[in-house]
Structure formats: structure tokens, C-alpha cells
Amino acid sequence: MKKTLVIFAHPKFEKSRVNAQLVNVLKTKNHVTFHDLYEHYPHFHIDVKKEQTLLEQHDVIIWHHPFYWYSSPALLKQWIDMVLEFNWAYGPEGNALQGKTVMNVITTGGSRDVYCSEGYNSFTVNQFLRPFEQTANLCGMKYLPPFAVMGTHKLQDDALKNYTQQYEKLIDVLQSDFVTETLSNCLFLNDLPILSH
């Protein structure tokens, strides 16, 4: 069973309907560590050593966050800046994260159809997530397509329930002996047929 670390970043979690439901899923799972960045580091003073140890103890890393201005909330960027140190995460001797799997789980207000060259956001979510993808590459990690809950502003309760069930199944898949290549062959992990039944 692969150990999963969810790095969660939400500056106003108490007001989030969708993320509250998604996080509830995580709490029922074994071998899943839920790590709430804004609750741990309200002053943005990240304990780098502690974070690195946490990363070393897990196989699958999930960056779980709302999609703010086509990126992550500020504290997750701060986390990446500080924790992924030279000669630890990257550089000649930086191989602490080698071979681990990493992915983004995001929530967006806009629906999927506005994220394309014809939509008002001009680019796809995958294009916006390139910095995360390349961060993973540089650290020798395998980067998976995102799992995205989109159009949250208008999301109905039953649709939300569907997402939470998918998220739960996704965790199961990630903890099993999956082959990365079989999962990488899509734009969103939401589209994987195994999550739908």
C-alpha cells in the first residue's frame, strides 16, 4: 500500500463548500496523511526540515488546492520555494524525491469549457499547471494529470457527491500498484473509466 501525503492549501477553508466535502473523503482513508498548510503555518513560517521528513515518508504527493489566478494559493508557492531545496530535491545530490509520484487536485470556479483557446481563459488547465509539472520533472518525480472539480460556483449537490466519490476512488487507485503510464494518458484523472464505476 502506497502512502499518500495530501499537501492542502486553502486560505479560507472554513468558507469552502466543495473542499470541505473533498477533505472529508481523505479523513476516512488509511495511509493518507492530510497536511493543512494554512493551519500549520498561518505566519508563512514553514518548518523546512519537518516538511522534508514528511515528504520522505510518503510515496504519492498530492497538491490539493483551489485554483487561484491560474495557480496555487500563495502559501503553496512559498512551500515549493522553501521545501524543495537545492541538493535535496534537485541539483547534483538532490534525489530525495526521486521516483515519487505527484499531482494537483484543484477546484476551479470556471467550468471546463472556459479553459481552452476559445474560452475566456484562453489556455487549458494543463497548460496553466506547467510550472508544477516541470517542478516535478526537475525533482525526478512522476507527474500525473490533475484531478479537477470545475465550475464550483454552480455545482449542484449531486454533482459534488459524484466528485467526492471519484476522489475516493482516485486515492484507492493511487495507493494500489498502478503503472504511471496507464494513468498519464488523459487530460484529467477525472476522465479515467475506473473512477466512474
Q: Which stretch binds another protein (CB under 8 A): 22-30, 66-74, 98-106, 113-121?
A: 66-74
CB atoms within 10 A of CB 8: 23
Residue 17 in contact with another protein, rule: CB under 8 A: yes
Among positions 1, 14, 92, 156, the unique one binding another protein when judged by CB under 8 A = 14
Residue 146 in contact with another protein, rule: CB under 8 A: no
Residue 152 in contact with another protein, rule: CB under 8 A: yes
Q: Which stretch binds another protein (CB under 8 A): 38-46, 50-58, 120-128, 130-138?
A: 38-46
Residue 109 in contact with another protein, rule: CB under 8 A: yes
Contact status, residue 26 vs residue 171, Cβ threshold 8 Å = yes
**One-letter-per-residue 3-state SS of 53-76:** HHHHCCCEEEEEEECECCECCHHH
Q: What are phi and psi of 48, to 5 degrees?
A: -65, -45
Query: DSSP class of residue 71?
Result: B
C-alpha grid cell, residue 40: 500549520
- Applying CB under 8 A, the residues found at the interface with another protein are 10-18, 38-39, 42-43, 66, 68, 73, 75, 109, 152-154
